[in-house]
Amino acid sequence: MSFDNTEEAEESEELFEHHRLVASPNQELLRLDKYLITFLPNVTRSKVQAAIKEGYVLVNEQPVKSNYKVRPDDEIVVSLPTPPRDTDVHPEDIPLNIVYEDDYLLVVNKPAGMVVHPAYQNWSGTLVNALVYHFQQLPHMQGNEGRPGLVHRIDKDTSGLLVIAKTEQAMTGLAKQFFHHSIERTYLALVWGEPEEPQGTIDVHLGRSLKDRRVTAAFPKGDVGRNAITHYKVLRTLRYVSLLQCQLETGRTHQIRAHMKYLGHPLFNDALYGGSEIRKGTKFTKYKQFVDNCFKLMPRQSLHAKSLGFEHPVTKEQLFFDSELPEDFQAVLAKWDHYVQYN
C-alpha cells in the first residue's frame, strides 16, 4: 500500500533543495547546463539537462531551458526528489495535544506553525520528532521511511486533527481507508467573497503548476494532474468573507487551497494562492488597516482540519473526533463579526 497524500501534503514527488548558486557580478553569458557542470561536483551534462527539463532547476525562482544564458547575479536553485541527508529522525521532547489514544493509534490536534515531518529547512521541531520521543517503534509505511506513524499529513500552517498509527496492523488498515476515500475529513476555511451557490462540489483536476512547482494548479480540462473532489457548504457570510465547511473526497496537494482559488475565493491570508491581499471590498485606508490587522492576528492561511471520522482498523468501531477552532481563527472571525455589525 503506497502512501496516500491528503490535502496539504506534497503530491507524488517532494523536492528538496540540494544546491543554491549565485552567479558572480562579472559572470559572462554561459549556457545554464554548462554553468552547472562547472560548479557542481560529479554531475554529467545529460543529468543536468534532464533535471532542467523536469523543472528541478530554477533561475531567479523561474523554470528555464538548458540553453538559458546565465547572467551576472542570477540565483540558481537545484531541487531534487531525494533528500540531501539521511532519514534518521531525532527524538525531541515536544508536547503533543493528544485527543485520543489506545494501543493501536492516536489522534493529535496539531497547532498551526508545526511541520508534520522533517524535510529541507525543517529537520527539527516537527510532529514526527515529537512522536519518536513519546512513542517507540512506530511503524513506517513502505516508501515513507523517516516518517514513522504517518498515514496522512496536513500543511505546516494548517491546524487540526491527524491520526497516527502505532502498529503495523493499524497503519495498514488506516492506509486502506485513505486509499478508498472512506475516511471522513472536514475542514473549516475562511475565504474571500461569497460563492454563488451556498453549497456545491468542485470536481476539477489538480496538479503541480507548470510555472511554480510550489503551487498546485487547477486543470479544468482534465488533461493534466489527478482528479480532485471537494464538497463545500457556506456556514456564514460576513460581507467580504465567508466561512466554509469543506469535505474532502480525495486528498491532493493543497486541495482546498487550490480549489478555492479556482472558484475565485482564495483562503483569507493564503499568500501562496493570492489570499494575502484584499480580494473583496474597498482599498480605502480604514478598511485596509482592518484587513491588515486581521492578517497580523492570524498570519497564515485560514484553514483548520476540524473533524476526522474512520473505522478503527483493529476493533472495527466507528470513531469520530471533532476539534474547536484555534484561538487565532476565532479571533479573526470575531473581528469580522464586529466589523460587519458596526460598519
pLDDT digits (tens, 9 = 90+) for 180-194: 889 999 999 999 999
pLDDT of residue 217: 92
Amino acid at 165: A
Distance (Å, rounded) from C-alpha 299 to C-alpha 38? Answer: 42
CB 180 within 8 A of CB 207: no
The model's confidence at residue 12, banded by pLDDT at 50, 70 and 90, is very low
- Pick the more confident residue, 126 or 213: 126
Mean pLDDT estimate for the chain: 87
Share of the chain above pLDDT 70, in %: 88
Distance (Å, rounded) from C-alpha 193 to C-alpha 16? Answer: 35
Amino acid at 231: H
Catalytic residue IDs: 155
Grid cell at residue 230: 471537494
CB 75 within 8 A of CB 17: no
Grid cell at residue 91: 527524538
Distance (Å, rounded) from C-alpha 100 to C-alpha 122? Answer: 27
Q: Tens of pLDDT along 221-231?
A: 988 888 999 99
Output phi, psi for 323, to 5 deg. Answer: -140, 155
Amino acid at 32: L
Burial of 270 (0-12, 13-18, 19+ CB in 10 A): buried
Q: Tens of pLDDT along 143-162?
A: 566 778 888 889 999 999 99
Tell me which H or E stretch contains 186: strand 184-192
pLDDT(16) > 60: no
pLDDT of residue 144: 62
Closest listed residue to residue 192, CA positions, set 279, 273, 254: 279
Grid cell at residue 121: 529547512
pLDDT(80) > 80: no
CB 174 within 8 A of CB 151: yes
Tell me the sheet residues that pair with 230. 202, 248
Q: Tens of pLDDT along 282-320?
A: 878 899 999 999 999 999 999 999 999 999 999 999 999
- Mean pLDDT of the 95-105 span: 95
pLDDT of residue 188: 98
Rounded to the nearest 10 degrees, how much is the dihedral formed by the CA atoms of 254, 154, 6, 209?
20
pLDDT of residue 8: 41
Read off the pTM.
Answer: 0.76
Q: Tens of pLDDT along 27-59?
A: 889 999 988 888 876 677 888 888 888 888 899
Q: Tens of pLDDT along 107-142?
A: 999 999 988 776 655 566 788 888 988 888 888 776
Grid cell at residue 146: 523517516
pLDDT(272) > 60: yes
pLDDT of residue 343: 84
Grid cell at residue 114: 508545526
Cα Dmax for the chain: 68
